[in-house]
Amino acid sequence: MFSTYNRNEQTSYINQNISYWKRYTGNRFTDEQVLAQLNNAGSESTGDNLLLNHLKSKGDKNGVEYLEKLKAVKKAAKLNENTWNYPTKDQLAQNRKEWSEIYNFAANKLKGKRTPLSNRYVLMAMRGAFYSGKDDALGQIWLSNAKQVHEKDIAAQCQGYLASSWIKTGWIEKARDFYIKTGSLNDLRATYPQVITTKTIKEIFDKYPESKTFPYIVQDFLNSSFSTLNATEKNAQRDSLTKIELARFVKFSGSAATAGTQQTALWLSARAYAMYMLGVDKKQVAKALLDAQKVKSNARVAYNTRCLRLICASEVEDIDTKFETMLTKELTWLRNTAAKEKPYYDYATFRFRNHYTDVMDHVVHDILVPRYLQMDKPVTAAILANVANELNETQYVCNARCNLVKRDSTQKGYNSDYGTDVFRMLDTMSTQNAISYYTVLTAAGGSQFEQSMVPFCFNNASYLCDIIATKLMREFQFKPAMEYLKKVDAKYTEDMNIKPYLAYSYTPEFWVLQHKQKSDPKLQKKPYANKMNFCKQMLKLEEAIAKAQQKQKMDAKYAANAYELAKAYIQASPKGACWALTNYSWSQVQDSAEVANNAYIKRAITLLRSAYSADMSEDNMVRCLSGLFFLSNNFSPCSDQDKLAKLLWRLKDSASGEARKVNRCDALKDYIAGNGLLF
């Protein structure tokens, strides 16, 4: 959680260079035209020399001179040792001469007054020195110009040449000193085979108290310590050693902070974070962070301190109006900062991330959500989870709302809104709480704090109404469910991941195993309508059997209705082919306890038993027993299922008509195949 250096910061020289030349020539050329000039500068075709011709016409002598020399650079660079045509000795000598001339030309340009093209000449001189083998000149150019090269992309290129040169000469100590001085962090880390300790940091500090590498080295040390202390595998001895090292760091950083360097804020915030990891009283840590905030620093260090204060405050401060006012301000800032920082692509999660999205995740999911849930405020917890999730979802390449990837307009993204933490919270909270959540998002309800977070939430009425309707359906509240279903926009249902699974009819016999059942062509046009049909049908049948029960008219018609209902409930349960009517995902591996506790399964068992008693005809008995057998989970000998299987098997031999369909019961056939000896 400590970030004073953006390790994922990437500079793209090509893109930056195009932007530079576009600006230089008054934004009159396209990216492609600029690239043609820069890349194909050796060509004499007019198409490739648009910029050069423009600068000539404007009388820009300096610009023309640079682009002309760039042609020489491009020509020299064409000699590549990794092509099939390996250069001859003469070609190599000629090439070295060309690079040497390029170096001389560019180095001369740097002797005079600085111009807007000076930084580009620094890079050109370094390239020339590198390829002509002037290793000493390479370091000299950089040392005398580094301070003026503010363009990160050029600096990174220059440092790349330098690093290659040091590696080539094998001077580790010299290279290390140089990297510390110039802040070439990646190369510096590679020179340290050991773990970075306080001793390493102190050694650098004693030699170079203003080294640019501290933001990186200190970050590496602190975050590594955090990973160690929070490792899944606990180890007291290891943790104790890490804490001893952190205590050393607290002592050292305290003295570094009083040394009067330009990096005092860094040392103060690093010390506070080390104290935090050591378990020092959080109020003391918060004060140390406040001290760090008072000292002038660069934006990254200041943001880091602010994030650490937010983490600390979220853990210890009482949740009240004052706290929530602070939270509104800080989360708004954090969210905007996260949205502004260039993300990196995390291949493990398919998401774009950056340090601030990580902080948001930590503060919300690890600290605030558990605290609000403990206070029995699930709606606030869900709103907060939504803020963090939405920040992530808009950075998730598979989500259609992610604008960080170019998507073909015909390609629809995967709807990942059914896999988020906030979805899981909505799916498991009470229906009443889900309705309250819906009210906060769509009707300005809830607390002031909740309302302040709404602009950062994923807010889609159809999504919410569908979830509420599903929850009501699971509770047999079909009438109110239908009201919410009516509010779901048909266009929204087109992009639902479960759309194809909604096109299964709930009327076929459940005993034909799920994977053998096929979707219903009639439902394929408007599969979502199946939810409404199901509600209507259930409502009708439930009313019919309730009426019969009231009149105590438990006859064959009652049995038929109860059986129909049971069949539909089984189909709409996780065991049935129409699981998508009441679920958003289905797993091959089902938790048997969860299935047994499913309200639809329980209701189906009651209905089948009731139907069995109401009509003692052989056909009715067989199909009801088949249903009960299908729902039974106990597979041991002498279990209910075993008894049912034996009973059904006997009936199969003697029954006629409908009862003979038992032969089609896949579950029974599987059971017999696996337990043949029982029969």
Partner 1 sequence: MGVRTFYILTTLVSVALFGTSCTKQPDKQVPYSGNAVYYWRTTWQLTEKERTFVNTNSVQRIYLRLFDVVNKYEESDGIQQPGILVPQPQATLHFNEPYDLPCEVIPVVYITDDCLKSDSLLAEKVVTRVAQFCETNDLLWNELQIDCDWRKSTRDAYFHFLEKVRAMLKERNCRLSATIRLHQFSQPAPPVDYGVLMCYNTGDLTDKKTKNAILSTKEVKLYAPKLKVYPLPLSAAYPVFSWKRLFRGDKFVALLRDTDIEDTTAFINCGDGNYKVRQSFSAVTPDPTVFGMQVYPGDTVRLDKVPVDTIKLVKLLLDKECPNLHQQVIVYSLNENDISKYTQNEIESIYTSGW
Q: Work out whether strand 351-353 and strand 344-346 pair parallel, antiparallel, or are unpaired.
A: antiparallel
Q: Which of 97, 152, 168, 547 binds partner 1 (CB under 8 A)?
A: 168
Residue 663 touches partner 1, criterion: CB under 8 A: no
Please answer whether residues 658 and 622 qualify as being in contact, where contact means their C-beta atoms are separated by less than 8 angstroms.
yes
In this structure, are residues 338 and 391 in contact, taking their beta carbons and an 8 Å threshold? yes
Does residue 88 interact with partner 1 by CB under 8 A?
A: yes
The answer to whether 189 contacts partner 1 (rule: CB under 8 A) is yes
Quick one: which segment of 79-87, 331-339, 365-373, 497-505 binds partner 1 (CB under 8 A)?
79-87
Q: Is 39 in the site for partner 1 (CB under 8 A)?
A: yes
Q: Does 45 bind partner 1 (CB under 8 A)?
A: no
Q: Which is nearer to partner 1, 173 or 320 (CB)?
A: 173
Beta bridge mates, 23 = none
Q: Does 87 bind partner 1 (CB under 8 A)?
A: yes
Q: How far is the CB of 242 from partner 1 (least distance, A)?
A: 6
Other CB atoms within 10 Å distance of the CB of residue 143: 13
Is residue 526 close enough to count as binding partner 1 by CB under 8 A?
no
CB of 82 to partner 1, least distance (A): 5
Q: Which is nearer to partner 1, 195 or 638 (CB)?
A: 195
> Dihedrals φ, ψ of 116, to 5°?
-60, -20
Cα 137 from Cα 460, distance rounded (Å): 62
Q: Distance between CA atoms of 3 and 304, rounded to whole angstroms? A: 6
Supply 559's token pair. Answer: 């049995």
The reply to whether 194 sits near partner 1 by the rule CB under 8 A is yes
User: Which tokens is 166 given?
Assistant: 């040091």
What span, in angstroms and rounded, lies between the C-alpha atoms of 530 and 505? Answer: 8
* 131/124 Cα distance (integer angstroms): 11
Contacting range for partner 1; rule: CB under 8 A; set: 99-107, 175-183, 240-248, 456-464: 240-248
Q: Between residue 57 and residue 76, which ones bind partner 1 under the rule CB under 8 A?
A: 74
Contacting residue, 81, 206, 408, 653, with partner 1 by CB under 8 A: 81
Among 1, 6, 7, 454, binds partner 1 (CB under 8 A): 7
Q: Which residues pair with 267 in a beta bridge?
A: none
Other CB atoms within a 10 A radius of the CB of residue 179 amount to 24
Joined tokens for residue 61: 């002598």
Would you say 84 or 340 has its CB closer to partner 1?
Answer: 84
**Binding-residue pattern over the window 574 to 613 for partner 1, x denoting contact by CB under 8 A:** ----------------------------------------
Radius of gyration of the chain (CA): 35
Residues 89-108 that bind partner 1 (CB under 8 A): 89, 92
Three-point CA angle 654, 659, 660, nearest 5°: 80
Do 34 and 21 contact (CB within 8 A), yes or no?
Answer: yes
| Amino acid identity, position 578 | C
Q: Backbone phi, then psi, for 399, in 5-degree steps? A: -80, 135
Task: Tell me the window of 86-94, 282-290, 434-442, 533-541 that interacts with partner 1 (CB under 8 A).
Answer: 86-94
Q: Which stretch binds partner 1 (CB under 8 A): 81-89, 138-146, 378-386, 511-519?
A: 81-89
DSSP E strands, 611-669: none
CB of 17 to partner 1, least distance (A): 13
Element (H, E) at 102: helix 89-109
Instruction: Write the binding mask 216 to 235 for partner 1: x where contact by CB under 8 A, - elsewhere.
Output: ----x--xxxxxx--xxx-x
Residues forming a β-bridge with 535: none
Tokens linked to 580: 């998508």
Give min distance, CB of 67 to partner 1, in A: 16
Confirm or reject binding of residue 186 to partner 1 (CB under 8 A): yes
Contact pick of 1, 146, 196, 523 for partner 1 (by CB under 8 A): 196
Token pair 């064959």 in the structure block, residue: 556
The Cα 521–Cα 523 span in angstroms is 5
State the number of binding residues for partner 1 (CB under 8 A): 41
State the distance between the two ends of the chain, measured CA to CA, in whole angstroms: 64
Q: Which part of the chain contacts partner 1 (CB under 8 A), choosing from 97-105, 194-202, 464-472, 569-577?
A: 194-202
- Say which amino acid occupies 55: L
- Least Å from the CB of residue 14 to partner 1: 8
Q: Does 82 bind partner 1 (CB under 8 A)?
A: yes
Footprint of partner 1 (CB under 8 A): 7, 39-40, 74, 77, 81-89, 92, 168-170, 186, 189-190, 193-197, 220, 223-228, 231-233, 235, 238, 241-242, 245
